Each structure stands twice: as C-alpha cells, then as structure tokens.
Amino acid sequence: MSKTFCPIPWLHQAVRTNGDCRICCQANVTPNQGILRKENGEPYNVSKDNIFDIQNADLLKRVRLNMINGEWNPECGRCKSEEETGMMARRPSEVEQWKDSFTFNDAVNATRPDGSIDLKPIYLDLRFGNFCNLKCRMCGPTESHSWYEEHTEYHSEQGFYDTQGFVKLVRNDKGRWISNEYNWHGDEYFWNNLEENMPNLRRVYMAGGEPLLIERHYEFLQKCIDLGHSKNIVLEYNTNLSVLPDRVLSMWPYFKMVRIGASIDGMDDILEYQRYPFKWNTALKNLKILDDVAVKNDNIFPSMKYTVSAYNVFHLPKFMWWKLFDSGFKKINDVDHKPVIGYHMVYEPYRVCTQMFPVSLKNKLKLHYSEWEEKFNNSNLPDNIKETAIDILQSVITFTFLEDRSNELPEFVKFTKYLDQKRTQDIMTVVPELRSLFE
C-alpha cells in the first residue's frame, strides 16, 4: 500500500465556517489552506455548489493520483511532518478507521486515469458558521464572531481576511456580529443537497463556531432520526462544552455512535485564561454530566481534547495527572487509543505556537517535562498508560524544537499584553513560567 494513502480524498467533504470547501481541516496550515477551487479560482461553496460536483475538483483529482503513486501533496504537509516526528497524525488514524470498508485497493479501483471518481461522500466535516460564545486566545473571527471587536481594534482595520476575501461583520438587532458569508447554512439549497445525500452518510464531524449553539445542527440531527438514517451514522463533535443542552442528550442515543471531543485545555485559571470567558466550574459540571450520560449509553464516547499553546504547555502534564488520578471520570478518555487525553498542537497563529519560545524557554520546558516523565514512570499506573502519557510529553517537546519561530516573540508579548488589558487578566500570575518574557 502507498505510504501516503489516506481515505479522505475519496470519502470526505470538509466545509469551512464560511461554506467554502477544502480537502481536509489539517490542510488549513498550508498556503492554499486546502481550498477546492473552480477553474476561475473561485472556491467551491456548499451554499451554491452541489456536493457531488465538488467531489471532482481539480485539487482532489491531483491529490488522489499522487497518493496512489506514493507521493506527498503540499496540502498533506501537516500529516507528513507529524508522522516523521512521531506525533499523533490524522492520516494513519483515518486509514485505521476505514480499514474494513475502504482500503487502498478500493481507492485504486474507484479512481479513473484523470483522478476523478463516481463515489458519493459518506463522511462530512461541517462547520456551521462562526457563531461562538468564547474568545479563545488561539482563535479569531473566522471561527468566533465574539472575537470581532478585539480583532479589529488590535489590527486597526474594520474587518478581516478569510478565503472569500476581506470580510466585515455588522451587528444584528440582538447585538451579535454577523455576515451572510457565515450564515451559509441558512440556504435551503445546501439542505436539499444534504438531504439527498443523507442515505449515503456514515460519519459526520461537526465543529464551529460552537456546534451545540447552532439551531440548524439540531434540525440536521432530527432529520437524520426522522428519516431513519441516524442508526447508520457516527457523529463526531469538537465542542467547547460551555453548554450541554438536554435536547442534544436526548438525540444522541438514536445514532450508531457519538464521539464528543471536548476542548478542555486545563484546569482552573489556565482554562479560563486560554478560553475566555469560560469558567472552570462550568466545564467541570458539564464534563461530569457528559460522563454520566456516556456510562448510561454505550454508543456515546466522550474525550477531552487539549489544544497545546504557549499559554498552557507547561500545565499539560499536571492536567494529565489530574485526569488520571483525581477527575473520577468513568468513561471520558477510557478507550485504548486515547487513555489519557487527546491533544493537538497550535500551528497557527505562530504568535501562540510553542515553537515561538526562545531556546532558553524551550530547554526549561524540556526539563519540566523530564521531571514529570519520571513522576509518571514512578506511579502505579498500568504500563500502557505510563507510555502514552510520556509519549504525549515527548511529542510536544519534539514539535516545540522542530522549528525556530522566535521572530514571533515580540508579537506574542504585544498580543498577550493587549488581551490581558482588555480582559483584566495577567499572564505573569496565570503562567509564571513565562514571566521572563514580560519583565
């Protein structure tokens, strides 16, 4: 089998918060952001383009042929880098998940000489706009409308850039910042197109914005249930878990499987600092509810997903220790392949990426992690759990030393001071390990 093969270009369709389509969310860190474009350069957008036609965009055809020939695509650079450095990459995970239903040989047989296929998308990645109640420090207005005021003030411009060009938001009668570009899911063309493809669906991933706040997300779930397709569909979420409505808890049992990735990046003031204005007691309350619901429903599998940034990287081992020894969770992260936590590194913006640290701080982090590795080794945890925890720490260190982005340090300091002043927070109190950068 080709060492670059991934089922995604054959089975998948990924929709950004503005409705534009891309090859995969991992490609967001590449120059083209993985955007699928027409011959005139315009992005395919699900508000007006048929999802079946998008399956044979030129970029997808090229990527399929390269994968069959064992060549890496520029859009797959993140997976290539993560695999080469021993990190948890998406490509091998997707190969494993689809191994019983779509193999490399299946891909070869389904692909015409020009790279086109005649397959219906069975796996959707849907980002229902940028409606979100948080202003996470590694995020921005393309993913959260709540970011708009601080973003425009910081950059001294009345808007921001996304794949559709320069965007301005306006306040609606409820005071929320909106734009038609991020309300693509209000277009009936998409829903008619989606309903036509619903019998083919086997897996749907939803992120945001915050999916549990999006009304049309609930309409989608109800439609799947009413038409009898839910029993064939695996739902996956990336949610900040600031809300956990009874409504969604009553719908999940009707689906084949539900995997919830809760973006919980630390305890107490660390979480509240990175994911402002989230409160730790709210996170803990909803985690406990989610754990109880999962215990009662054998189709629900929750996990915590830790986004590793410059702000919380020193806190990571303490958080893993809490999860393993003190959280009391019965089902959260209890599966074999994620027995501690799920995690991913912040690549962009570079100003909050750990690669931005000066060498002295990287070495300080390495020493800090070495001490925690010894603590995990000396614990009474099962060997596989110890190994997983230590592997996570070592992969974070590998990533941190992989690139020198210290030219971003002045921007990190400036940006952090700006947000601290706006939000009445203090980096030196919350993350004292970074004090030397601000004194």
Q: Which residues of the chain have pLDDT under 50?
A: none
Output the pLDDT for position 335: 67
Output the pLDDT for position 163: 87
Pairwise CA distance, residues 363 & 396, whole Å: 13
For the record, the structure tokens of 16 come out as 């950004």
Identify the sign of the CA torsion 346, 348, 349, 354: positive
Q: Taking the complete model, does pTM exceed 0.75, yes or no?
A: yes
Domain extents in the chain: 8-121
Output the pLDDT for position 98: 94
Output the pLDDT for position 32: 84
Output the pLDDT for position 231: 97
Identify the sign of the CA torsion 348, 351, 352, 357: positive
Helices (H), 227-355: 246-251, 268-274, 280-296, 316-325
For the record, the structure tokens of 233 come out as 């569909």
Phi–psi pair at 22, nearest 5 degrees? -135, 165
Pairwise CA distance, residues 363 & 424, whole Å: 30
Distances (CA, A) of 77 to 5, 17, 84, 186, 204: 13, 22, 11, 33, 24
Amino acid at 280: W
Output the pLDDT for position 337: 55
pLDDT tens for each residue of 154-195:
998 889 888 888 888 888 877 788 888 898 888 889 999 989
